[in-house]
Structure 1
Amino acid sequence: MSNNALTESFNSGFGALSNAWNVPAVANGQVSLTGNSAMMEWAIGRDAGHGYGTYTVTAKAEGSQPGPGIILWPGDDKWPGQEIDMLEITPDGSGRQYGTVHWNNNGADAYATVIYDGVQGGSFHEYQMIWAPGLITFKVDGVTKGTIDGNVPVDYDHGGMNNTIGFMNNNPNTSLTISHLEFTPLGQSVVATPAPAQQAPAPSAPAPSAPAAAPAAVAADAGPVDWNALAAQVTAHYEATGRWELPGAASAAPAAAPAPAPAPQVEVAVKVDWEALAAQVTANYEATGHWYL
């Protein structure tokens, strides 16, 4: 068997956990174990069940005595062995819950435990166990309750043995109800994906070449230019002075701008092509957001 993912919601029987005894029929997507009862996957060999990965169970344990158990049983069905318990109850009558890792210590059962502080029975919790090389992590309702990094079993794919998932209850004063089971195999080490090649930024539109002599300074973002009025002013100034320029151009420049070198006055014998001038200023505005020639 391979280390396959598994999901069981118990909507139509026991699913993969068909090795069951004294278990009533599934009802409303839940299985309740009372008295002496259990269900589990078949433990038929070292490759049976599952290995490294995340095991998640939604369950409710009731009672303050040992009895309920969420068990990962050795795949070869031999005990003492590499049993991992996601849920058990302490024998001191407190109802405290805990997780355990068991191993075979020269024929004797040895174990290490993690107490689930603050977790109360009588209500559903999400129990989670992450089995990784050299480390087992126990969580309840998304909160890490502890880790065990000694005597951690090796799974079948890495030369060891898998475990089968099971549930049990062996006390008439306790019970265990399960509504969901999920196993996700441990993923391979994440390989950094090369970042996509950075595209060179698109070249910006070349700034329009400024004419040798600007006919006017136009305020940025001043709105559409009244070209007819502008033409009338330049024409009137030419008739009065003989020079094609906008009167008051020097004073219209922004105060913060450095004073440009005076442009030579060029007398021309033709009128200004205002349509071309307007087209160039409009193109400058569309490219830069500023009205200028």
Structure 2
Amino acid sequence: MPNNALSESFDNGTGALGSAWNVDTSTKGEVKLSGGGAALMEFASGKEAGHGYGTYTVTAKLDGNQPGPAILLWPGDDKWPGQEIDLAEITPDGSGRHYGTVHWNNGGSDAYTARVYDGVSGRSFHDYQLTWEPGRITFRVDGAEKGVVTDHVPADFDHGGMNNTIGFLNNNPNTSLTVSHVDFKPLGGGASAWAPPAGQAALQAAPAETGTPVVPAEASGPVDWAALAAEVMANYEATGSWFI
């Protein structure tokens, strides 16, 4: 399947993201996910579903200071734990800061590494951007680089791996996620020449973590991914559909 470009402004409901659960489309040009269980995603029908290497940009507003909203790239084969990449979530320390993650299947258990977007919080729209390249994922917010991951970066379908589908969820009644635009542009070729800019070398060199997001020690706390995974899989096994 071609790694096709995508641009969606939600002028006609959920548009290209057809798998929806409790999504508010009443305002033209945006979708809103709120309450304890809302999700919107492209259909995850196999390893070739969705998109691969390229740049993903989502204009969205995450409201709240608790985990709940997520802008994510869900595994194309709809299996979890697995190849999940998150453009934005809310840290569990009460600060309301946002962060991105790269997940992988570690022998049947979820493992991930995270990058906190210092200086980024809710109550306003931001452009969350992720560039997925061979061996590297770069997170940006409003054009500013916020972190790089070079460990456990998956290959996309065209390069022997799997694609991911674009999705959103909110699983906390005290939070919400509003999305006004989604854009994906495929990577133009192979790996680009890249070196970390000043100040980013230490971040790139930081080892991958498993089990806790990369937040300062004085404000750290666990994300209950095991409970999230159990809920996702229970719903999938019961209904054949992805939602939380």
With normalisation by structure 2, the TM-score equals 0.76
Residue type of the alignment partner of 1:14: T
Note if contact 1:46-1:75 (Cα within 8 Å) is conserved in structure 2. Answer: yes
Shift of 1:26: 4.2
Tell me the residue number matched to 1:181: 182
Tell me the residue number matched to 2:121: 120
Tell me the residue number matched to 1:25: 25
**Alpha-carbon distance in 1 for matches of 2:26, 2:52:** 27
Identity of aligned residues (%): 68
Residue 118 of structure 1 aligns to a residue in which SS? strand
Shift of 1:189: 5.2
Note if contact 1:10-1:26 (Cα within 8 Å) is conserved in structure 2. Answer: no
Shift of 1:28: 2.6
Shift of 1:73: 0.3
Tell me the residue number matched to 1:97: 98
Note if contact 1:128-1:138 (Cα within 8 Å) is conserved in structure 2. Answer: yes
Tell me the residue number matched to 1:161: 162
- Aligned-residue RMSD, C-alpha: 1.1
Residue 69 of structure 1 aligns to a residue in which SS? strand
CA gap 1:188/1:26 in 2 versus in 1, 3 angstroms: farther
Pick the structure with more strand per residue.
2
Shift of 1:25: 2.2
Residues 211-230 of structure 1, C-alpha deviations (whole Å, 9 max, x = no match)? xxxxxxxxxxxxxxxxxxxx
Note if contact 2:12-2:28 (Cα within 8 Å) is conserved in structure 1. Answer: no
Tell me the residue number matched to 2:112: 111
Output aligned runs, 1:206-285, within 5 Å: none
Residues 240-277 of structure 1, C-alpha deviations (whole Å, 9 max, x = no match)? xxxxxxxxxxxxxxxxxxxxxxxxxxxxxxxxxxxxxx
Residues 68-95 of structure 1, C-alpha deviations (whole Å, 9 max, x = no match)? 1001000000000010000011111111
Tell me the residue number matched to 1:44: 45
Shift of 1:187: 0.3
Note if contact 1:59-1:180 (Cα within 8 Å) is conserved in structure 2. Answer: yes
Note if contact 1:51-1:162 (Cα within 8 Å) is conserved in structure 2. Answer: yes
Residues 33-90 of structure 1, C-alpha deviations (whole Å, 9 max, x = no match)? 1011010000010000000000000000000000010010000000000100000111
Residue 127 of structure 2 aligns to a residue in which SS? strand
Residue 177 of structure 2 aligns to a residue in which SS? strand
Q: Give the number of the structure with larger relative contact order, counting CA–CA contacts within 8 Å between residues 6 or more apart.
A: 2
Matched positions, count = 190
Find runs of 4+ consecutive structure 1 residues off by over 2 angstroms: none
**Alpha-carbon distance in 2 for matches of 1:8, 1:152:** 26
Note if contact 2:75-2:163 (Cα within 8 Å) is conserved in structure 1. Answer: yes
Residues 80-126 of structure 1, C-alpha deviations (whole Å, 9 max, x = no match)? 00100000111111111100000001111000000000012110000
Residues 146-196 of structure 1, C-alpha deviations (whole Å, 9 max, x = no match)? 100000010000000000000110101000000000000000259xxxxxx
Residue 172 of structure 1 aligns to a residue in which SS? coil
Matched, 1:68 2:69: yes
**Alpha-carbon distance in 2 for matches of 1:114, 1:79:** 21
Output aligned runs, 1:127-166, within 5 Å: 127-166=128-167
Tell me the residue number matched to 2:214: none
CA gap 1:55/1:117 in 2 versus in 1, 3 angstroms: same
CA gap 1:153/1:26 in 2 versus in 1, 3 angstroms: farther
**Alpha-carbon distance in 1 for matches of 2:190, 2:74:** 27
**Alpha-carbon distance in 2 for matches of 1:25, 1:55:** 22
**Alpha-carbon distance in 1 for matches of 2:189, 2:8:** 24
Residue type of the alignment partner of 1:68: P
Residue 126 of structure 1 aligns to a residue in which SS? strand
